[in-house]
Structure 1
Amino acid sequence: MQDLSTELSLVTVTYNSAKVLGGHIDSLRSSATGPLPKWFIVDNASTDDTDSLLSTYGQDVELIKNSENLGFGSACNIGIAASKTRYVLILNPDTELSESAIQQLLVEMKSRDAAIAGPALDPSDDRSVEAVDWLVGAVLLFDTEKMDSVGYFDEQFFLYEEDVDICKRANDANLKVLHCRNVSIPHVGGGSTVRSRAVIEFIHFHKGRSYAIYAHKHGLGDKFVEAYVRRNKKRMIVALLTFGVARYVRAKAKIKGVNSVQ
């Protein structure tokens, strides 16, 4: 069995995630048979009980507190830079960990010479392991010896598309991106702040903005973005006709996000 405490580091990015963060940390602590890996909690200026919660875990975790919300990718980069191990596992705080799953994911990465590896995030009978175009960013294992030449998260993306972008860049560099469906690390969801109307607008603004940034960065063309805007304009019209206020707010925010990209 690999000694995870020397093989890899963990980086969990948080933003008002106190309600799920304890369970996230405890899921690994309760399943660990040896020392925990170095575990960085990179917090994007949370205003909930994150700080006081983490103080109860002593030296099991190290808090890196940002003075403002820098976004997911920027916080990941801070954690990766703080890590001293070859392998770094990026995590959402609403994932359920186990020592055996992390061990297996690391074995698959090494044996198949991958640069990025991700597990199954939902229950499935599919046990396949295959190279893919991209992985969901909730759980990503990086081999830094391979990825250092590619770079990590593009900080243009505040939220969304940063996982697609980093996987594309790895693939473009002829590095392997591996989906290990035989490894289960459940993504429970709902790990951040309560979704008020303002939060929903903020989230969907960044969905639209990141979509446009990705399209422009990778040369998908104006027509690709224009089609996205048309789809969301249609959603706004349908929402008005059916009194779907939430759908209208989401679609309008996405278009605003697209329009914010010059």
Structure 2
Amino acid sequence: MAPTLLTVILNWRSAEMTLDACAAALQAVATIDGAITIVDNDSGDGSFEVMTAEVQRRGWDKGAHPVRVLQSGHNGGFGAGNNFAIRQGLPGGARPDFVYILNSDAFPDQGAVTALLDHLQAHPQTGFAGSFLRGPEGDPHRTAFRFPSIASELEGAARFGPISRLLRDHIVAQPIPAATGRVDWLAGASLMMRQSVLDQIGLFDETFFLYFEETDLCLRAARAGWPTDFVVESRVTHIGSASTGMKSWTRIPGFWLDSRRHYFTKNHGYLYAAGATAAHVVGGLLWRARLLAQRKDRGDPPHFLKDLIGHAVRRKPQAPPMPPRTGAE
């Protein structure tokens, strides 16, 4: 019996781009049984109505791989929006065999989704599989990572060659793999998951409003014996930060700090989380000392260390602003 696939695309105030991603996905899943669900994450700008009308106008809702547009009714963030679609299942309520999460600013090549599905079917012990992502100009994106740790916080903040060499086995952002293989976690812009694994470990933790949610999900899967693989044959064009505005942040958002703290405290405990923050502060101070002698790009939003330290001594999470993301990394 052929496997079934539910593709989920989350929209936040980017209806046209989401429809473009859906069009690319429809071509990429043409030979796979299943359906596509677009979730409007309570955009409040008419996105839901625009996408619903356009899906009907194009006849996608009646195609061999039907598309439906759902309204979440509440913007709980990236994980909550995707969970909303996953809980709905396929049209009629049937559970799919696999779930494919696609960003609204990601456009799979022909064969990209099939490559992920084929890999998971050929490797029954693998829980999740993700794609090789590249920018619109063909520049490869780093999307294969190690799990964050105290050591990685020190290395990433210090940005100093001797420290990086000493802690090379703890650096979060790995070189782009040249071949398909095992990684700790992958960016969720193009990620396929076994429904049976989600049934076992649960869906995205909705405490994460934005960022670290796929890191946490992959960690839970790995701890349950379901590792994640990077599939180089699956090629996806990804604009990246198209809706988060991450590259132009003038100050680190509270929701990023909340997600970081929740990841460390949930998975390693409060003392470990405090150690991770202390390591980042030490590394950050070393980096800023170098900036006094060398002309380098600061690399962090203004007031980053001050905001990190201030957040660490507060226990109550900050209420997120109106979120800028559809799911972009």
Scaled to the shorter chain, the TM-score interval is 0.7 to 0.9
| C-alpha distance in 2 between matches for 1:167 and 1:138 | 14
Match in the other structure for 2:111: 100
Correspondence list, 1:72-221, <5 A: 72-83=78-89, 84-113=95-124, 114-122=126-134, 124=140, 126-192=177-243, 204-219=253-268, 220-221=272-273
Distance 1:193 1:121 in 2: 17
Amino acid at match of 1:42: V
CA 1:257–1:80 in structure 2 vs 1: closer, same or farther (change >3 Å)?
farther
Give 1:260 shift. 4.8
Q: Which moved more, 1:62-71 or 1:247-256?
A: 247-256
Structure with the greater relative contact order (CA < 8 A, sep ≥ 6): 1 or 2? 2
Flag the 1:32–1:108 CA change in 2: closer, same or farther, 3 A.
closer
What letter matches 1:21 in structure 2?
A: T
2:217 and 2:122 mapped to 1: Cα distance? Answer: 22
Instruction: Could you tell me which runs of 5 or more consecutive residues in structure 2 were left unpaired when the two chains were aligned.
Output: 90-94, 141-175, 317-329
**Is the 8 Å Cα contact of residues 87 and 142 (structure 1) preserved in structure 2?**
yes
1:232–1:65: structure 2 CA closer, same or farther, 3 Å change rule? farther
Q: Give the secondary-structure state (helix, strand or coil) at the position aligned to 1:184.
A: strand
Residue pair 1:204, 1:251 contacting (<8 A) in 2 also? no
Range with greater deviation from structure 2 (11-20 or 71-80) = 11-20
Ranges in structure 1 where 5+ consecutive residues have no aligned partner: none
Compared CA separation, residues 22 and 251, structure 1 to 2 (3 A): farther
Q: Structure 2 vs 1, CA of residues 93 and 162 (structure 1 numbering), >3 Å: closer, same or farther?
A: same
**In 2, are the aligned partners of 1:10 and 1:89 still within 8 Å (CA)?**
yes
1:116 to 1:31, Cα distance in 2 relative to 1, 3 A = closer
What is the distance in 2 between the residues matched to 1:23 and 1:218?
37
Structure 1 SS opposite 2:13: coil
Contact conserved, 1:117 with 1:179, CA < 8 A, in 2? yes
Shift of 1:248: 1.7
8 Å Cα contact 1:206-1:257 kept in structure 2:
no
Structure with higher helix content: 1
> C-alpha distance in 2, partners of 1:68/1:233?
40
Structure 2 counterpart of 1:66, one-letter code: S
CA distance in 2, matches of 1:44, 1:259: 32
Question: Residues 204, 253 of structure 1: CA spacing in aligned structure 2 closer, same or farther, 3 A cutoff?
Answer: farther
Q: CA deviation at 1:137?
A: 1.3
Change (3 A) 1:186 1:206: same
Amino acid in the other structure paired with 1:141:
M
RMSD of equivalent CA atoms: 3.4
Larger radius of gyration: 2
Cα deviation code 1:73-131 (max 9, x no counterpart): 11111111112211010111000024411111100111112111111112559541111
TM-score (norm 1): 0.81
Distance 2:97 2:254 in 1: 35
Q: Deviations over 1:187-230 (max 9, x none)?
A: 212442778x9x865x7211111111111112234121233356
Secondary structure of 1:57's aligned partner:
helix
In structure 2, distance between residues paired with 1:43 and 1:260: 32
- TM-score scaled by structure 2? 0.66
Structure 2 equivalent of residue 67 of structure 1? 73
Q: Number of residues paired by the alignment?
A: 256
- Cα 1:253–1:64 change in 2 (3 A) is farther
Shift of residue 234, structure 1, vs aligned partner: 8.7
